[in-house]
Amino acid sequence: MAVTRDGIPVRVWCWPGNTGDSALIRQVKDDMRDWTLSKIVWVADRGFSSERNRRYLRQGDHAYIIGEKLRSDSPEIKAALSRQGRYTTIAANMRVKEVKVSETERFVICHNPDGAERDAHIRTQLIAQLQELIDGSDTLSVMKRGELRGKISTKPGLHRFLRVTPGGLLRIDKAKIKAEANLDGKYLLRCSDPHLSAADIAVGYKQLLEVERGWRDMKQILDLRPVCHRLEERIRAHVVLCWLALLLIRIIETTTGDTWHNIRRDLQRLHVGTFTGPTGLFRQRSDLSKPQQDLFAKLAIPTPKQMIELAPTSR
């Protein structure tokens, strides 16, 4: 999906699931070349972070922002996470810190305090669940203990915190817990543009997260769930419908300066009541709250009529 700096989607593509990265990148670059844009910044997740992909994305004066895997053996990633420095707050739930690792690329660590609390809470639950599983395992036979270990290995979230002693006993890995706590609420970005600020890099990557959230919203909130289409044109039509709905959401968000989650919550409180009596039937909307009035005003939408229908009883 192509979006503007403000996050407005302007174009969407879709391919068969087995299409290689290089093929889709080439097509998008060719299509966007016709638009004669002054600058294109590619924003991708860690699936695109191979050196070959990064080199291709930089061709033609383009730049990229790519999310990196924090739990990586890469020397660059380890170096970036070990660098000291102070975070700069750029939003209520976002802090950024740029670290010097490479002469050709920039690395920005982003920290979400709300996300950190959520990560810590999930880890506490996982550790409690793991502790419950291994309690009393010291008394089991070697074979039974091996079976329990094999069962835990099928659950990556639990297995991550499991330690096996030289004697084969199962324990909670406290060193791993400490290492994971250092990653709470964080994600690492790699950028090739020397001119973007650290805040712009973080906001640019957040647009990718917003696009992915938009696709989930289309499938869940609007109930446009995946359908087993038989024809390719129907698949593409389905994607375009999702894209159009996302376009409307983004226009509403940028116009009102609020999130779609809050806007939807306020609008869902607007109801129409149906009243019947001896003289007939009428339908009337509920009184508009102040947030609802402000939304209609910002979007330049006429407020709904208070009296929707009036049907006297025929005599």
Which of 217, 232, 259 is a domain's end point?
259
**Do both 102 and 218 map to the same domain?**
yes
**Do both 91 and 159 map to the same domain?**
no
Weakly modelled stretches of the chain, pLDDT under 70? 60, 211, 213-227, 315
Amino acid at 109: I
- pLDDT at position 268 is 92
Tokens found for residue 148: 């329990």
- pLDDT at position 169 is 93
pLDDT tens per residue, range 31-77: 887 787 777 888 888 777 777 778 777 776 788 898 888 887 788 88
- pLDDT at position 227 is 63
Answer whether residue 264 is part of any domain. no
Residue 127 structural domain = 114-181
Range 279-282, long-range pairs (CB < 8 A, 24+ positions): 279/312, 279/313, 280/310, 280/311, 280/312, 280/313, 281/309, 281/310, 281/311, 281/313, 282/307, 282/308, 282/309, 282/310, 282/311
- pLDDT at position 225 is 56
Which of 128, 161, 181 is a domain's end point?
181
Question: What secondary structure letter does DSSP report for 14?
Answer: -
Torsion angle, alpha carbons of 234, 237, 242, 248, to 10: -160
- The total number of structural domains that make up the chain: 3
Please count the helices (runs of H) and the strands (runs of E) in the chain. Answer: 11, 13
307, 282 contact by CB (below 8 A): yes
**Do both 23 and 94 map to the same domain?**
yes
Which of 166, 181, 196 is a domain's end point?
181
**Do both 285 and 141 map to the same domain?**
no
Answer whether residue 25 is part of any domain. yes
Longest CA span, the chain: 92
- pLDDT at position 63 is 86
- Rg of the Cα trace of the chain? 26
44, 66 contact by CB (below 8 A): yes
pLDDT tens per residue, range 90-108: 887 889 999 988 888 899 9
